[in-house]
Structure 1
């Protein structure tokens, strides 16, 4: 494995981690800078397609709407594997996400176990996410009593 390959793998891991950091902090416009302008983003819950977005403007609108309904996000990234092919790459990453929302005056916490299938491209000197498919494999919601 060359130093260049190791550097690229680290850059891609940082891209995935930055997506989580910015999302947790609700910095949606900065999070959009991690994607190509022509991005696609799909979300499956229990193998059912629940979201299908194309382009930064639509994604930013959807992410802002979603984050306005969430009090707190907490994301923990796990495994991340990539296959490199010049100025493009594919990757799989696993994530645990916790979200606290209010419903009927009570706080609820949702735990999500997510697998992301990504396509990355190297543009203008940096790696970006071009396509992301989120598979919400396990979902649990319960009352939250801190």
Structure 2
């Protein structure tokens, strides 16, 4: 493996992690800057596409609206595999997402097992996500008000 490929792999891992960190901070303005201007973000649950967005502005608005009622948003990224082809790459990352918020007057923790499949492109020496498909494989809800 060349030193350039090693560096690109590190940069792609950092990109995926930074997207998650900014999402956890609810810093959607900076988060969407890590996507190309007309990037596509698609979410699949139970084999059905439940959300398909295009462009930074649409993504920012929708991410903000979707997560507004959660007091805690926490992504834990796990294994990642990437294939690099010069100035483009593809990758798959497993992620455990925790969302804590109120639902019907109860404090609920939702845990989601997700797989993100990304298409990356190198723009002005910076890797960006051109397309992201997030598949939510499973979900568990727990009432945190149990006495």
How many Å apart are 1:145 and its aligned residue?
3.6
In the other structure, the counterpart of 1:30 is 30
1:72 counterpart residue number: 72
Tell me which residue corresponds to 1:120: 120
Partner of 1:86: 86
Cα deviation, residue 66, structure 1: 1.3
Deviation at 1:64, TM superposition (A): 0.9
Q: Deviations over 1:80-133 (max 9, x none)?
A: 000001110000000000001211221111000000110000001200000000
Structure 2 gaps, min length 5: none
- Aligned equivalents of 1:144, 1:124: Cα separation in 2: 46
Q: Which stretch shifts more, 97-106 or 129-138?
A: 97-106
Deviation of the 1:142 alpha carbon = 1.8
Corresponding residue for residue 18 of structure 2:
18
Quote the residue 1:43 is aligned against.
43
| CA drift at 1:67 | 2.1
Deviates more, 1:65-74 or 1:43-52: 65-74
Q: Alpha carbon RMSD of aligned pairs, Å?
A: 1.0
Partners of 1:14 and 1:145 lie apart in 2 by 36
**Distance (whole Å) between structure 2 residues aligned to residue 81 and residue 135 of structure 1:** 16
Normalised TM-score (structure 2): 0.96
Matched pairs, number: 146
Question: Secondary structure at 1:33's aligned position in 2?
Answer: helix
Match of 1:105 in 2: 105
- Give, in whole Å, the separation in 2 of the partners of 1:84 and 1:39: 19
Choose 101-110 or 131-140, whichever is displaced more: 101-110
